[in-house]
Structure 1
Amino acid sequence: MKDHPLEQVRGNPSRPLQTIRQLAIDPEMCMYALTMSTAESKNIKEAMADSAWIEAMQEELHQFDRLQ
């Protein structure tokens, strides 16, 4: 996580990295991860600051181009 900006790190950055399998063992962490992974921006300003959202929107636009 040292190479990622702190605003992109979900959860406590001082905790060790956990895999999906490890999260499945801990139901509370599994629910937290699920909630965080499906969180949507509240407005366009928030969305435009989210590089993952921008990437997802670009991919959707590329899908439209491929379908034409």
Structure 2
Amino acid sequence: FEDILGVTTSSNEAIGVEDDVSNMETSITASPTLTLRIHKDHPKSQIIGPVDNPIQTRHKSKVVEEQSFIATIYQKTDPALLQFCLFSCFLSQVEPKKVSNALQDLSWVEAMQEELL
């Protein structure tokens, strides 16, 4: 730093030297207008999509796209066929090998009771 600033940092030279505080300001004025780092409203040029829609995160927009995909399929497919396909997605494809295993699974017991009634 001595070469760049022309100031020495040696403690031997600083002994006995007093600072001149007469050239320092006694009061500091603050700006009456507050400046915030975080702005609540962004410029309209930065808004992507319709202004009327609520704010969407990347995750939320993905969910909306998936829902619109299902709605599109529903419109183009026979509702009975679509219901059957969606119902079959939730059915268990694995049958228990032992009765004791079947009795431990409440959904399996309920399904068997519905079949018997």
- Structure 1 and Structure 2 fold alike (TM over 0.5): no
Mark the structure with the bigger radius of gyration: 2
What band does the TM-score fall into relative to the shorter chain? 0.3 to 0.5
TM-score, normalising length: structure 1:
0.36
